[in-house]
Amino acid sequence: MSRFSGFPAHVEKYVGPVRGADSREADGRDRGYHLVYCDHRDGSYVSVLTSGLREHLAGAPLPQEVLCTVHADQERYGRHLTAVIAELLTESRSRVGYGALIMNDRALLPDTEIAGALAAPHPYLADDFDVLLDADGAPVLQLITLLPITRGESQLVARYGRDALYDRWEQRHVDLTDIHRPSAA
C-alpha cells in the first residue's frame, strides 16, 4: 500500500467529490501529473489540484501537490493557473513553500487582473486539510493552495511582507476564490 493511498479520501473529505481528471498526457508528452477536479458539496466552488506532482522530489521536506479553489463558473481559470504553476514546478524540478510568489510579468488569466499566485495554506478549509497523514499519523504530503493574486498585490508582498496583504484582504473581505475580483493593493 502506498503511503499516499489516503490522498483521494482526504481530498474528498475536505474539498468534495472528485468529478474527473485530465490525463497526465498533454501535447503528446507525459507532463508528470494529472489535473483533478473536485466539486465542493454546495456546488458553488471547484478545486483543481494536481496528482502526481509529488513524484518530483526536489527541495521540500514533504512531497507536495498544488491546488486552486475558484467559483464553479471560473473553473477554466483555476485549471489554467494550476496547470501553469505545476508545469513551472515540474520543468524546474522545484517546490514552493508557504509565502512563495509565483508571478508572471503581465496578467496570467485573460480578462482578469490575476498575474500569479501566492502559495499558502487553504484559507477556507480546516488546517487539517493542508497535510495528509499516513495510517500512523505521520505527515506524508503537503497540499499547497495557490491563491490568485494581482501584480499590485505581489508588489505589496515584496515591499511589506505577506502579512500586509493578508491584512488588506481581511479588511476588505476579499473573496479569494473569485478570479474577477479587483486588486486589494
**Residue 59: its pLDDT value, please?**
62
**Residue 91: its pLDDT value, please?**
85
**Residue 169: its pLDDT value, please?**
96
For residues 20, 25, 27, 29, the Cα torsion angle rounded to the nearest 10 degrees is 160
**Residue 109: its pLDDT value, please?**
83
Q: Please give the Cα distance from 136 to 182 (Å, whole number).
A: 44
Alpha carbon of 4 to those of 80, 105, 156: distances in Å?
A: 25, 36, 37
Pick from 124, 118, 117: nearest CA to 42: 124
**Residue 123: its pLDDT value, please?**
95
Buried b / exposed e along 98-128 (16+ C-beta atoms within 10 A): eebbbbeeeebbeebbbbbbbbbebeebeee
Q: Please give the Cα distance from 169 to 173 (Å, whole number).
A: 6
**Residue 26: its pLDDT value, please?**
76
DSSP conformational letter for 182: P
CB 185 within 8 A of CB 169: no
- Tell me the whole-structure pTM to 2 decimals: 0.93
- CA-angle at 65, arms to 68 and 158, nearest 5°: 60
Write out residues in the chain with pLDDT < 70, as ranges.
Answer: 1, 57-60
